[in-house]
Amino acid sequence: MRLGLTGGMGCGKSFVLSCFAGQGWATLETDAITRTLLADDAELASELRSRFGDGVFDAGGRVDRAALAGRVFGDDDALRFLEGALHPRVRKVWLAAADSVRDANLIVEIPLLFEKNLEKLFDLNVCVSASLSTQIERLARRGFGKNEALARMARQLPLRDKELRADFVISNNGNPEFARTQVTELIGRIAHRFA
């Protein structure tokens, strides 16, 4: 079984992914793949330096993710360039990793699953949802002010649209046990449906 996992910023996708891992599923987190590529891919770093200059690198010569985000946020051309350089690499890594676990159930977290029309690569798709106040509270703990959080959320497909397009929705408003229970029930429904 192959599941795609998405949701809004601050909805707790990584926590839900860990719940699947706890149930024995193989998991892939594209945000983690992105971080690794930005840290280790010299060719990607060279492309970013050519486009954005030294301002998106730290003193040690590594990509400064915060500076890069600040550079592309609000600049559609810069964002398109970054996505064009990064997304094919990320996709190549997770597709290869998925191939390596063909005998296991796998769930892949992709924040832009629907935005990038990747949902058809999966048997089913799951959206992690949370209230706007919960999202803003979680993003504040990650250093985002309310206005910045709202502006970044506005650049993604609205959470309600993701919920409507997903096969299943997991509500994650802050009760970890409730989220774990939903994951357990979902896995049971999937097992029954595809038995």
CATH number of the domain that residue 118 is part of = 3.40.50.300
Q: Is the CB of residue 123 less than 8 Å from the CB of residue 108?
A: no
Looking at 63, 79, 103, which one is the last position of a domain? Answer: 103
194 pLDDT exceeds 80? no
Neighbours of 110 (CB within 10 A): 25
Task: Give the confidence band of 152 by pLDDT, cuts at 50, 70, 90.
Answer: confident
pLDDT of residue 115: 93
pTM > 0.95: yes or no: no
pLDDT of residue 195: 63
Of 142-146, 153-157, 163-167, give the range with the top mean pLDDT. 163-167
Q: Which domain holds residue 169?
A: 1-25+105-195
- High-pLDDT (> 90) share of the chain, %: 81
Is 34 inside a domain boundary? no
Mean pLDDT for 114-131 is 95
Q: What angle do CA 70, 74, 80 make, to 5 degrees?
A: 90
Task: Give the confidence band of 124 by pLDDT, cuts at 50, 70, 90.
Answer: very high
pLDDT of residue 87: 93
- High-pLDDT (> 70) share of the chain, %: 99
pLDDT of residue 155: 85
112 shares its domain with 80: no
Looking at 58, 77, 103, which one is the last position of a domain? Answer: 103
pLDDT of residue 192: 79
Q: Residues 6 or more apart from 45 whose CB is under 8 A from it?
A: 38, 57, 62, 63
193 shares its domain with 123: yes
pLDDT tens per residue across span 51-110? 999 999 999 999 999 899 989 988 889 999 999 999 999 999 999 999 998 888 999 999
Copy the structure tokens of residue 37.
């590529």
Q: Residues 6 or more apart from 160 whose CB is under 8 A from it?
A: none
189 shares its domain with 143: yes
CA 144 to chain centre: 17
